A and B are shown apart, each in its own frame.
Chain A
């Protein structure tokens, strides 16, 4: 079974600065997807960014970018120009691209609580 590890339970960043959240995963698959989800306080969890394992280019979405190191099984999230609204719990998630239905479910990490300091 796949596992996803987020080794930073809490992180903080000064407003307008850059912060990187770490994620590692354990998988023997060759085709899979990786995700970062954001869960603001008392609000819905939303997708921040997605990376397909077969793509060498790191995904970017405005101020959010990833550093995907396939050989190292590492998938970190970089948030540039941090804003107060970025404060949230961030979850890393993995999904196999296997044809097996159960294997295609998302496996989540335990989350990193990000605080943005004004």
Chain B
């Protein structure tokens, strides 16, 4: 199994739909992240969870709702999205605290298209 797995890889949804992105890591890490990657822009950090607790919300609109039921799983619930939310959503994980050398371990991403 790959270290960080994201599903679905591709998602097309209308502005009134509700969908969820899923991320699972098998690396024993305790920190998990959601990033948004848009063309020709830097990666934007959205949320950070450390030991299941949200430690960072980077002014993300409420139409994005994260959930972290345990240290291995991270969800991003989507509802009433806008076309400008179309992007590649990346999940990442890392060790916490003193074990964290700064390296993030990424999934392959979920390509979201909002019609």
Contact = CB atoms under 8 A, between A and B. Distances in A.
Interface of A: 4, 9, 33, 35, 42-47, 50, 91, 95, 101-102, 104-111
B102 to A, nearest CB: 5
Contacts of A102: 55-56
Q: Is the interface of B mostly helix, strand, loop or mixed?
A: loop
A44 B103 contact: no
Contacts of B48: 105
Scoring B4, B45, B50, B102 by chain A CB atoms within 10 A of each residue's CB, the highest score goes to B102
Interface residues of B, number: 20
Contacts of A106: 43, 45, 102, 104
A81 to B, nearest CB: 25
Given A101-B56, A102-B56, A105-B48, A44 B4 contact: yes
A50 B101 contact: yes
Contacts of B50: 101
A50 B4 CA distance: 21
